[in-house]
Structure 1
């Protein structure tokens, strides 16, 4: 009888101990859950701040690239057209009516061409509106400026011109990625042929740039960590949950394919 009473007492004490521990464990669990929730919120907030900072930096870089293009165009094209116009007008001899008419007509043609070029520059000044009009139009504008250089044989397949959906932040980063790739080609590739393809399949936007330049060893460039701006390109693609496929070898050119969930 005494043994049974002892067992009952032990069971009661054990149950009491368990009931006492349960609230403690519950409190610890709630505290741990709240801590993880807070950390997750702070991490998410930090990621959002980084993304907004990257968007701001990208916006500034796009504007810088725009200003460089405008400065080059004013100096190399519009400036030369206007100088030629001045020379032509200064050489007009009003005593020779027939030659004077031809030179004045030529001058008017040069002025009209200058006006056309300035209108194109005005469009470039509104680069962000190009992004607002869609990534297809922004890509098309970059291709137009590349084509005006007359240095490369271009093959273009831009299927995004009439795209009905948009993602302004992704579009801005994609535009900057394209600018970086094109700048790398101009500075390093020694290419003569460039192919640019852009299209949408399902919910994935594809942007591919291939050229026939000198090529390089991707692993060697990656190990340098600063080569050709690849780190910046990889970082930006990661920011928009995209993927980059890079193929290159010395003497065999380079192709860069970008795939981004869209919109």
Structure 2
């Protein structure tokens, strides 16, 4: 499933299925399969444009495991991936070169020619693009040619020749560059032929110009323009050929019909009668179908009216919930201000009184009973105010922190070493969301986390939040005892049903995947 979603560029669904597979393999004690999935997760996250640096830990876990098992083939893949990561993400050519060479060394035990070819290409790319050492780049490009010829990989062989030509161009050896460009041009390409030829001729023109051979430079410049125009008109040519083929086919059919009409002239009356009979039956069938269609449309219109009424009622109910939440937040803010303004000044006065009492005691003065009484009254009044405000909570703290820090703080609070571990993974949250949306999502996660603590008997839970361009995806998983999902739909109150209603009001959806004894996965999708 993860591979299918990856092919459709649905990264968050691919990641969700990989995490499910990893959890299942963990429960089965399949450590090797778990480690293979770590590598798959790394490759998936590495390919994303909005990388989160946490993806690197999956590659490190993979390499640690295969080093312990002394698996040279998987070590080759791991070091190759780490070398590419160092070059592409960190622009660290020293470490990138080190890991690519380690991959090459471990591959000597496997003699995997395909892996060796891939490593050579990346080493050549590093020397040419980052280190500007064309001689070393040429060494690895040339080392790869034999294998590409052996497997008849024409596309990569052509790319190899063009890259060698680029190296010679940087070395100011234009004749060599021209030689390898002609070799690339001579290959029988099947894929991307027009585009590749276009660039080959452009590079040939540039190299001939450097040699002041302007006639040849102009010749290949014209060829470059010709192929560039061909690329643009290729789709039009295909469309015209398709139309022409259809026209010729239809013309041939008409010719056959004319020839056959002379043979079938004696059957015209019979076919005419049969045609009239078929037309009559068809007309009657159309009349009946039209009547049924009108009846169906009328029924659909009634259903639409009913849905509109239900939606209006639902909107009113959810608007009432919003007003209730807004009122609660304002009341909590008011209580917090009251604590700061009133109780704060009262405690400051108490502090001054205690300092006076202390000073009188140390200086040997007679205790001032009025000061004692006044201090006692202040303490009593402060106590009464604290009691009144004891259950107020200040939502401003959440507003200042934002969604992700608040969720991580929640996970840290509910995690109990040795009993329950809650991990939070977030991807793509570069900025703040609307305050109401953040608050709604946090309350939903808080309620679902509370359910895990109260009912799931889980030892591990994961909260994964992913922000895409169009929606937010939340996946909450645990390895607890699970439950019957039919029961969850019957429960009323401010629990799971309240969360479902709020998510639906935001045009989102909530899916529950749970089986007794096998844990629970809840997936929430909310459009932005």
> TM-score scaled by structure 2?
0.27
CA contact (8 A) 1:196 1:209 kept: yes
Contact 2:318 2:502 in 1 (8 A): no
Q: 1:58, 1:172 within 8 Å by CA — same for their partners in 2?
A: no
**Residue 139 of structure 1: CA displacement?**
1.6
- Root mean square deviation, CA, Å: 3.6
Match of 2:425 in 1: 157
Distance 1:148 1:260, change over 3 A: same
Q: Show the counterpart of 2:405.
A: 137
**Secondary structure of 1:241's match?**
coil
CA displacement, residues 215-258 of structure 1 (integer Å, 9 cap, x when unaligned): 01101332x33399321221111111111111000000101111
- 1:150 CA drift (Å): 6.5
Q: 2:438 aligns with which of 156, 162, 171?
A: 171
Distance 2:433 2:481 in 1: 35
RCO higher in structure (CA 8 A, sep ≥6): 1
Distance in 2, Cα, partners of 1:148 & 1:176: 21
The aligned residue for residue 67 of structure 1 is: none
Q: Distance in 2 between matches of 1:228 and 1:193?
A: 25
Give the deviation of 1:46 after TM superposition. 6.8
The Cα shift of 1:174 comes to 0.8
Taking the aligned partners of 1:206 and 1:137, their CA distance within structure 2 comes to 17
Asked if the contact 2:411–2:423 (Cα under 8 Å) also holds between the matched residues in 1, the reply is: no
Deviations 1:180-216 (A, max 9, x none): 1011111111111111101112221111110011101
Contact 1:135–1:171 under 8 Å retained in 2: yes
Structure 1's unaligned 5+ residue stretches are 1-41, 65-123
**2:464 — aligned with what?**
197
Task: Choose the corresponding residue for 1:251, options 517, 522, 525.
Answer: 517
User: Alpha-carbon deviation of 1:127?
Assistant: 3.4
Specify the alignment match of 2:125 in structure 1: none
Q: Which of these two proteins has the greater Rg computed from alpha carbons?
A: 2
Deviations 1:89-113, CA, capped at 9 Å, x for gaps: xxxxxxxxxxxxxxxxxxxxxxxxx
| Structure with the bigger percentage of strand | 1
Match of 2:476 among 202, 209, 218: 209
| Gap change, CA 1:198 and 1:171, over 3 Å in 2 | same
Aligned to 1:260: 526
Q: Is the partner of 2:442 in helix, strand or coil? A: helix
The structure-2 alpha-carbon separation of the partners of 1:165 and 1:216, relative to structure 1 and needing over 3 Å to count, comes to same
CA change 1:199–1:128 in 2 (3 A) is farther
Q: 1:174 to 1:50 in 2, by over 3 A?
A: same
Gaps of 5+ in 2: 1-308, 333-391
Counterparts of 1:221 and 1:47, CA distance in 2: 20
Cα distance in structure 1, aligned partners of 2:444 and 2:419: 21
Change in Cα spacing, 1:53 to 1:128, as seen in structure 2 (3 Å) is farther
2:477, 2:492 → 1: CA distance?
Answer: 21
